Amino acid sequence: MSTNAIGIDLNKAKDLSKKLNELLANYSIFYQNTRGFHWNIKGEKFFELHVKFEELYNDLLLKIDEIAERVLTLGHTPEHSYSEYYKISKVKETTKVSNGTVAVNHILDSFKTVIMMQREILDLSDEANDEGTNSLMSDYISLQEKEVWMYSSFMKK
C-alpha cells in the first residue's frame, strides 16, 4: 500500500482532497454571500446584523484557508477559481439581499449544507485514519452547531 508524506493511503487522500475541495467551494460562496449581506443589510436590526455578519465572514475566511492548507497537506491542489466553485458548490450565490430575515435564512441553509458535508468528510477521514482532517471537521461541526442555534434563536419571535 502506498501512502503520502503523512502516512495516509494515496487513494484515501485523493478522495478526501476531492471532498475538501467541494467543501472549499461551498465555503467560498458562503463567504462571498455573507460579505454581501454585511454590505447590503438594511432595516431595524442593521447594527446587530452588520456586526454579526462581519464576525461570520471573518471566521469563514479563516476556515477557507485551513481547508485549502489541509488539501495541500494531503498532497493535492486546492481549487481556487470561482468558476469551478460555482459548478460544484451546493451553496448558491445570492444577490441583492438586504432583508435581515432573508439573509439569516440563507446563512442557516448554508450552515446546514456545510455541516452535512463535514460529517461526510468526518466519516471518510475516520476510515483513512486521518486525525488532522478528522479534528478539523469535528471542531467546525461543534462550533457551527452552536451558530445554527444562535441564528435560529434570532429568527424566533
What digits encode the pLDDT tens for the residues 102-133? Answer: 999 999 999 999 999 999 999 999 999 999 99
**pLDDT at site 26:** 98
Q: What cell numbers appear for 122 in the block?
A: 468526518
User: What is the tens place of the pLDDT at every residue in 58-72?
Assistant: 999 999 999 999 999
Residue 1, in any domain of the structure: no
Closest CA to 124 of 29, 30, 8, 24: 8
Q: Provide the percentage of residues in the chain whose pLDDT is more than 70.
A: 99
User: CA Rg, the chain, in Å?
Assistant: 17
Residue 2, in any domain of the structure: no
Residue 3, in any domain of the structure: no
Computed over every residue of the chain, the mean pLDDT equals 97
Residue 44, in any domain of the structure: yes
111 Cα distance to chain centroid: 7
Whether pTM exceeds 0.85 = yes
Domain count for the chain: 1
**pLDDT at site 104:** 98
Residue 119, in any domain of the structure: yes
Residue 93 DSSP one-character state: P
**pLDDT at site 157:** 67
Beta-bridge mates of residue 3: 9
The CATH number linked to 75 is: 1.20.1260.10
Residue 34, in any domain of the structure: yes
The C-alpha torsion from 60 through 66 and 69 to 75, rounded to 10°, is: -110
Owning domain of residue 93:
10-155
Quick one: pLDDT band at residue 156, thresholds 50, 70, 90? confident
